[in-house]
Chain A
Amino acid sequence: MSAIHETLEQLVEKYFEGLTTCEEEKELRRLFAETEVPESLEVYRPLFAYLESESKSAQEEHTQQNNVSPIKQKRFRLHPFISIAAGMLLILGISGIWHTLYSSSDAVWIDGKRYTDQALVQQQAQAAFHAVSFTEEDILLTLFEE
């Protein structure tokens, strides 16, 4: 038996015991693909050919994955910025509404417009009170109305 056949048999034995390194397995697959093997090992040729082809496609897949990963990372990193921007918009919106409603205690709305001029506010308020107020005479009239 030639030395290479002996090595091959030992490698196959080690392989099935789970003792080979990846480098040795590569060599094993190469030997099965490129050389004559002893009759007793011939039966394993398709197995190692299959593993070689699967190993190649797994490595290609791995390379592809590495190529696409930066895009994935970019998409992922964008996410917190969008959340922060949305949060800030929400705060600005709420504070805007708050400011409009409560910032100045004296204001008057005329025809949908807001006026904060002190004299105008007082004048409008008095006019409004006047419109709903009763004089003593009004009360007496209401009481003795038929």
Chain B
Amino acid sequence: MELRQFKTDILPLRTRLLQQAHTFMGNEPDAEDVVQEVMIKLWNIRRELPEYRSVEALAVTMTRNLCIDQLRKRKENHYSLEQISVASQADNPERDLERKDEFQLISNIIASLPPLQQAMIRMKDMEGYETEEIASITGCQPETIRSNLSRARKKVREVYLKMKLIQKN
């Protein structure tokens, strides 16, 4: 399934999913984030979609599950700086390769971001999608994608710089 077919088959489900997510999350921005994430997930499994009996049912289930996840995370909040730092050292106790260590640290920081921000960085920085393409896939405005992406990158920078400062001291 390519972008054109994805747009005609999947994007029309967006309004319904948005309503469903709104019921769960109770506000527009959070519902929008959940639906963007669902769309990205559906895009990532686009090759398997023809094997599903009802993509709509799949999308509805994914939306519901993501909403529940998000509501749970609201309580827990994400990894703290200490957790990221500990994880990074535990994975690489001897600190033999500084580069490897840095990569592990950055990877941990990205993993600690909210799922939608992780997805933005993965799609733009790693998989090479343009902002407009991500906007087409998620069915939202390029400006929304740009702002989410910017938030994600700035968060990585902020946490990374903090971590470096902690390591220095």
A residues whose Cβ falls under 8 Å from a Cβ of B:
15-19, 21-22, 25, 43-44, 46-47, 49-51, 53-55, 58-59, 62, 65, 69, 72, 76
Q: Given the known A-B contacts A25-B125, A54-B126, A59-B128, are A19 and B146 also in contact in the complex, defined by CB atoms under 8 Å?
A: yes
Interface residues of B in 105-132 (CB under 8 A from A): 106-107, 122, 124-131
Taking a contact as CB atoms under 8 Å apart, the answer to whether A62 and B99 are in contact is no
By a beta-carbon cutoff of 8 Å, the part of chain B in contact with chain A is 47, 50-51, 99, 102-103, 106-107, 122, 124-131, 145-150, 153-154, 156-157, 160-161, 164
B133 CB to nearest chain A CB (Å): 9
Q: Which residue of B128, B148, B161 contacts A43 across the interface (Cβ within 8 Å)?
A: B161
- The count of A-to-B residue pairs whose CB atoms sit within 8 angstroms is 64
The main secondary structure of chain A at its interface with chain B is helix
Closest residue of B by beta carbon distance from A48: B125
Which residues of A are found within 8 Å of B47, using beta-carbon distances?
65, 69, 72
Docked Cα-Cα span, A105 to B150, in Å, equals: 83
A58-B99 contact, Cβ under 8 Å, with A18-B150, A50-B107: no
- Does A46 contact B157, Cβ atoms closer than 8 Å? no
- Contact check, B102 vs A50: say whether CB atoms are below 8 A apart: yes
Residues of B within 8 A of A54 (CB): 125-126
Q: Do residues B50 and A21 form an inter-chain contact, with CB atoms below 8 A?
A: no
